Structure 1
Amino acid sequence: MQLNLKQIPRVSTISKDDFIKNYLKPQRPVVIEKLTQDWPAYKKWNLEYIKQVAGDKTVPLYDDRPVKHDEGFNQAHAEMKMSEYVDLLKKKPTNFRIFLYNIMSEVPVLQTDFKFPKLGMRLIKGLPMMFFGGTDSKVFMHFDIDFTNILHFHFHGKKRCVIFPPDQSPYLYRVPHSLIAREDIDFSNPDFEKWPALKQAQGFVCELNHGEMLYMPEGYWHYMHYLTPGFSISLRSYPRKIKNLSKALYNLLFMRHYDNFMRKRKGQEWIDYKNEKAIIRTHENLNIKE
């Protein structure tokens, strides 16, 4: 048995008016295949080019280890030179990923390689973030703290993206006081006996190839599986819905700080409590008996 996933609609190109009408306003995902073909990045961006222009940069690395109480919010697990990291990606599968790498400040030369698409979104110009992963590396199911609308562009290889609308949260074993689902769920091959609520979740899936862009509406859950080594860049705009803006402010101003406070106060007990609560709440809401 597999997750209940529909293929995300794909278009070759799209006008601003059609994007606003059919996807942005109704908050529906879409893949746009040729949006980047007039970018310098379309021809230039590959792992060797990144090594050439950013090889001497020391980059923070993240792996798939579970959240620990003594680690800060988005705290890196290791670091190495970008040149060494690219060599590692090309040599063998690795769990090490680069996460939320701000190219505007870290590698300014890359700024001239991409454009901010005119799709009716007020994109945040100072926050284009890059993400890197090796063959078979996976990003756990989560949603973004700021509830932004996301334009996610992929380069060099292929990435599988599984996404769920916010209304599917009751089925995803969300961990309280956080932005993640249970980290021990493999959304590529879920165990429905252990996680029965997932059988009711209805989401979307796509495979992104070089230069293709996935639009993810605000608050969407997403799980990324790198099928080959590659990297992506995300451009984002603030939430359009007032209720989502208020949720973003709550997450940024209260939830994140409360969670960090409880980690320091209770230690691993707090992490274990949240993980257990994710199961209890999900099954209680769905009347699933243990």
Structure 2
Amino acid sequence: MLDKEAKPYKVDPFVIMIKFLLGHKWFKELWDVFLLPELDAIFLTSQSMCFPLVSLILFLFGTCTAYWGGLLSSASVRLLSSLWLALKRPSELPKDIKIMSSDVTILTIVLIIISWATCGALAILLTYLYYVIKIVHLQATLTNFKNSQTVNPKHPRRSEKKSNHHKDSTAHPLRLSASDAEDSLRMHSTVINLLTWVVLLSTPSLIYWFKNLRYYFKLNPDPCKPLAFILIPTIAILGNTHNVSIKSSKWLRTASQFPLPLAIGVIAFGSTQLYRVPSCVFISLFLHALCNFM
């Protein structure tokens, strides 16, 4: 759901059409009536019709960058999980699927306090590291489970049947099977890719705070603080989210309609003003997290 709209032929035509229409006075007046912000792009006229090709090339370049960044992120998770397996043998797949636990709640409160007392970008970075650790642990656990399945194939089948029995039963909490863990891992990989861009776009604020740390401990004004306050609980929920709870959500169909408008909004309003991009990413993550409750 989170990455299916990252296709130029779905996003770019809408943006190009809006840019062209904004070159006409009547459409510009209609645009102002709805109090919509100005586009972060060159307006198209009949004398500048070569711009769509340039826009498409830039969009393809950005899509390729995101794609290869996703591959690099997945490879890094696998490498870190191998290191995790070498240092510590992980436990079995999670038996009980809990969206929030006491430890996660305490960690969320601590990160929010860090965001308020120091720098929002620092809290976002720490939240990102927490999420990466969670996914590395899940990858290591899944790898360990597959290795044990290769050694003893009969036991995992009984375990998976038992897991499916608990999944279908309403008297017991949901349990995670190997296939569910793989689906969840793919979902978390997409979340990491989106969250990476939020961290990168908030890095200038973090660097500025770090350079001036000798003068003040709390960054004020902090452009990343409002985002950190709402992003931290969202990531805490997504960190304990599995594909089982997402698939059974009634909100999933509604939430799946938002990525395309958000992608259009990023291209239309965040091309030059990049501070708007994390907000669009957060909306997508927040809607995804709501699937656990609706």
TM-score tier (shorter): under 0.3
Q: TM-score, normalised by structure 2?
A: 0.26
- More helix, by proportion: 2
Q: TM-score, normalised by structure 1?
A: 0.26
- More strand, by proportion: 1
Rg (Cα) greater in structure: 2
